[in-house]
Amino acid sequence: MNSLHTTGGRWDCHTHIYGPWQDYPLPEDAVYRPQEAPLTALLEMHRKLGISHGVLVQAACYRTDHAALLDALSHTEGQYKGVALLDGSESDSQLEALHDGGIRGVRLNFMGHLAEAQNLSELGGLAERVGSLGWHVLLHGKLDQVLPVLASWRKLRTTLVIDHMARPDLDLDADIEGLVALRKYLDNEHRWIKLSGVDRMMGGSDKPWFKALPHVRGLLAAAPDRAIWGSDWPHPNIQGDVPSDAKLLEFIETACGDTQTADAVLVHNPRRLYL
């Protein structure tokens, strides 16, 4: 598994935790109800794959209650960071407390059960606020949702990370064209790409993943020093088979193609973004 990597200090930049239920039960109105997936299980998966650092993305089922996330981060000795969900009402002191707890970004959701009424002007103000803390904004949506945001926020200097490669459907000509447009937006030092979600893009089974390789490599080539990777463990709301995290890591190694590129995506780029 470490065939392309010698540096040490690999990162998994997209994971979620759920529970433990005895300490952090889901609210009654949770938008989805996943199986329990505590930090201990995540750390064991990472140990097996040789991953020492990670990013915990706030689960939408917890909404803006970050208690479970912050507790988990407090047990990682600073090797894991977090991405929050905010509603915009947070005070400066609340944002500073999140920062002190290890939060380094906010996720904005534009699709499916995660979507809410979005006002780009208001969200732009939130993006500027968190940018002043050195955080990034994680944009989660499909291509036709993400591209208008990138167009509207061309001058925004806060770092934007495109989540899950903007969830393209490679069977749609419009999405193939959208990936070309997305690559152009990556010609900006404040725009990053997360090379995650190939399992969702191509179906849970790993058999068709390699059909996505040219498109993943195209995004990587557009921003080789601003590309990161995440497993999306424990793969909530996945349709089809739950993917193997080892095979997802192997896929991104293959996409990188050489040790230097793998080190950039798995070690050096995430360190610059999160530390």
Give the tokens for residue 154: 């061309």
Q: Which residues are catalytic?
A: 232
d(CA 250, CA 215): 17
DSSP the chain: --TT--S--EEEEEE--B--TTTSPPPTT-S--PPPB-HHHHHHHHHHHTEEEEEEEPPGGGTT--HHHHHHHTTTTTSEEEEE---S---HHHHHHHHHTTEEEEEEE-SGGG-----HHHHHHHHHHHHTTT-EEEEES-HHHHHHHHHHTTT--SEEEEGGGG---TT-HHHHHHHHHHHHHTSSTTEEEE---HHHHH-SSSTTGGGGHHHHHHHHHH-TTSEE----BT-TT-SSSPPPHHHHHHHHHHHH-SHHHHHIIIIIHHHHHH-
87 φ/ψ angles, rounded to the nearest 5 degrees = -110, 0
Q: Which residues contact 275 (CB under 8 A, 6 or more apart)?
A: 81
Structure tokens at 250: 């192997």
Contact 143, 165 (CB under 8 A): no
